[in-house]
């Protein structure tokens, strides 16, 4: 009996696979090494919510590129269906889809990523955010009736990049947090010496703290 492998989780390396796409064959995550990438699945081509999502992703494509982030779509449709659908989007919505879409008609990629709903034969609506070291940083799932918020996905990329660069945590609704605006959280102190250091940093005006375990900086 074939061993059933569990779906990847946050913190795991994105599984290696070769996929067929509208831009030719791609090796994941190898071909995106050194870049962030977002792999997002949709239930099927020529479906209303998915069509609005693809247009929305494309409208933000330049912003993703500025963040060193690539986009990859996925469904269990065949590649010719993807090609016809993107052609329809271009002709009817004046939007050319510039990123690749994975064709997965036998569902092997979707099954490996845990994207086949147990009560359906279609791909669920999910998002994998993967960093330049091929580590999965976030996994999001959406119901069929609710389209994704692309601006929130961009916010997540910016937050992850800030975390990777500075080792800080990101508060709720950043960069428009209700308490501290665009300031970020310094990780809580883990020992007495760090507590003393934090208090001195606050006295010197380097950081602001509500207490030693809740400190912010620009």
Q: How many CB atoms lie within 10 A of CB 13?
A: 12
Q: Report CA 143 to chain centroid distance, whole Å.
A: 17
Q: In a 10 Å sphere around its CB, with 0-12 CB exposed, 13-18 middle and 19+ buried, how is residue 33 labelled? A: exposed
The whole-angstrom separation of Cα 25 and Cα 109 is: 13
The whole-angstrom separation of Cα 69 and Cα 78 is: 25
CB 161 within 8 A of CB 138: no
Residue corresponding to tokens 């279609």: 122
Compute the Cα dihedral for 71, 75, 79, 82 and give only its sign.
Answer: negative
Which candidate in 19, 38, 39, 50 is catalytic? 50
Q: Report CA 199 to chain centroid distance, whole Å.
A: 36
**Distances 37 to 1, 73, 128, 214 between C-alpha atoms, Å:** 34, 11, 8, 32
The whole-angstrom separation of Cα 91 and Cα 78 is: 20
Active site residue 50: yes
Give the catalytic positions in this structure.
Answer: 50
């Amino acid at each position: 009996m074939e061993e059933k492998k569990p779906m990847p989780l946050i913190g795991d390396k994105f599984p290696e696979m070769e996929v067929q796409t509208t831009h030719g064959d791609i090796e994941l995550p190898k071909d995106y090494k050194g870049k962030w990438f977002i792999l997002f699945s949709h239930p099927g081509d020529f479906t209303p919510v998915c069509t609005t999502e693809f247009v929305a992703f494309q409208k933000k494509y330049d912003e993703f590129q500025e963040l060193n982030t690539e986009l990859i779509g996925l469904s269990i449709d065949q590649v010719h269906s993807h090609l016809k659908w993107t052609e329809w989007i271009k002709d009817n919505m004046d939007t050319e889809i510039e990123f690749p879409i994975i064709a997965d008609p036998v569902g092997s990629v979707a099954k490996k990523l845990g994207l086949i709903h147990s009560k359906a034969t279609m791909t669920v609506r999910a998002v994998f955010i993967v960093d330049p070291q091929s580590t999965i940083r976030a996994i999001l799932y959406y119901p069929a009736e609710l389209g994704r918020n692309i601006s929130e996905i961009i916010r997540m990329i910016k937050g992850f990049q800030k975390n990777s660069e500075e080792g800080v945590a990101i508060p709720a609704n950043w960069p428009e947090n209700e308490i501290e605006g665009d300031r970020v959280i310094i990780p809580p102190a883990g020992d007495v010496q760090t507590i003393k250091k934090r208090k001195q940093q606050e006295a010197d005006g380097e950081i602001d703290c509500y207490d030693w375990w809740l400190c912010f900086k620009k």
